[in-house]
Amino acid sequence: MPSRNACGVLLGACLLVFSLLDLSTADGDYSELCRLFKNGTNIRKPGTCNEYIHCSDGEGILKFCEGSTPHYDRSSQKCVKEVSNSHLYCGNRCEGRNGTWVSDPTECQRYFYCNEGVPLEGTCPMGQHFDETSQACLHRVDSHCVDVANICEILPDKTKFRYEDDCDYYYECKSLKQTLNKCSTTKSKLYFNVETGSCMARNLVACTAHSKSGVCSATSSLVYKSDGATCRGYFGCKPFGTVADLDPIWGQCAEGLFFDEKRQICAKATDVVCTHNRCEGRGTMLVASSRNYCHNYIECVDGVEVAEHTCHFDHFFDEVIQACSSKIIYDNCCDEQE
């Protein structure tokens, strides 16, 4: 199996492991795949035709097809009597093939060399994935493999799922291949919400991989910039002189503190003007808004903004008592924010 940076011209010389393999079984339960999909998604277990994984609250529950409907159909997400091309998923992927390589459906790093229909197992070097199109091992950053090879072969068409490196992007299955799509436009900064399958305002999406695109500019000293989605999060832009830092390190202020980009410090939440997600890290509660001169407050549920409300009778919101009050309040967080 050739690696583009390490292998010679002979494809066979790069095979690290060759062995006859029974493809009817697959190691692992793959329940961790559910972290990528919305609640309720069914996933055919890689390397099988009679097992599938039901995703419930981020956890995978392994289920089986038996009796008169022994096969799982990814399109209908039901157990059926038979499925077409089953040998590609749970049988001999080398059937009818000779002198070519095919991906192992259970793992990105593994592949098979087809020798007159007989599959011989091989493994790419550490940190590389097999790419069936180019017939080569690629570095992980250049690979399109997500957890398992050909992941859309185990999902219904048009399934959308997380791209874990950047919440601004998501994958969608089209004709058994995944395509990478971007949420944000020149006018709107958005993140992908896996539960709704749509792009939404960043303050409405719980994200652990904030977008680094365009965050830093060229600088001669260390500069901290807001992550553009939460009030606690920031990126540290390293001083590369005339070249911008394209891979800044993300960090966040302690709970209860917000990042103040102007002052380059973490400060008390009610002292920082921020119109991003003011709920992140604050659980379920009411928090002061940076809009409408302290008359507005935000409803938070599990660290995500649900709705913004306005106090009646020209009252002010008091975050301490979690209620609107006739007492005049001028927190710094709502200075000059209409």
Tens place of pLDDT per residue across the chain (338 aa): 444 443 333 333 344 334 333 333 344 568 889 999 999 999 999 888 899 999 998 889 999 999 999 999 999 999 999 888 776 777 788 989 999 999 998 889 999 999 999 999 999 999 999 999 899 999 988 888 888 888 998 999 999 999 999 999 999 999 989 999 999 998 899 999 999 999 999 988 989 899 999 999 999 999 999 999 999 999 999 999 999 999 999 999 999 899 999 999 999 999 999 999 999 889 999 999 998 999 999 999 998 899 999 999 889 999 999 999 999 988 888 865 44
d(CA 212, CA 162) in angstroms, rounded, equals 17
Per-residue confidence (pLDDT) for residue 338, from 0 to 100? 47
pTM for the model: 0.79
Both tokens of 245, joined, read 């830092």
Q: For the domain with range 11-22+92-142, which CATH number is right: 3.40.50.1220, 2.170.140.10, 1.10.1370.30, 3.20.20.140?
A: 2.170.140.10
Per-residue confidence (pLDDT) for residue 290, from 0 to 100? 92
- DSSP3 helix / strand / coil % (the chain, rounded to 5): 10, 35, 55
Residue with tokens 């001999």: 92
d(CA 191, CA 166) in angstroms, rounded, equals 9
Amino acid at 96: G
CB 155 within 8 A of CB 74: yes
Per-residue confidence (pLDDT) for residue 3, from 0 to 100? 47
Per-residue confidence (pLDDT) for residue 220, from 0 to 100? 95
Listed by start position, the domains of the chain span 11-22+92-142, 31-89, 157-204, 223-268, 285-334
**Contacts of residue 101, Cβ cutoff 8 Å, sequence gap at least 6:** 1, 11, 111, 112, 113, 114, 122, 130, 132, 135
- Residue 177, number of CB atoms within 10 A of its CB: 14
Per-residue confidence (pLDDT) for residue 138, from 0 to 100? 94
Per-residue confidence (pLDDT) for residue 144, from 0 to 100? 84
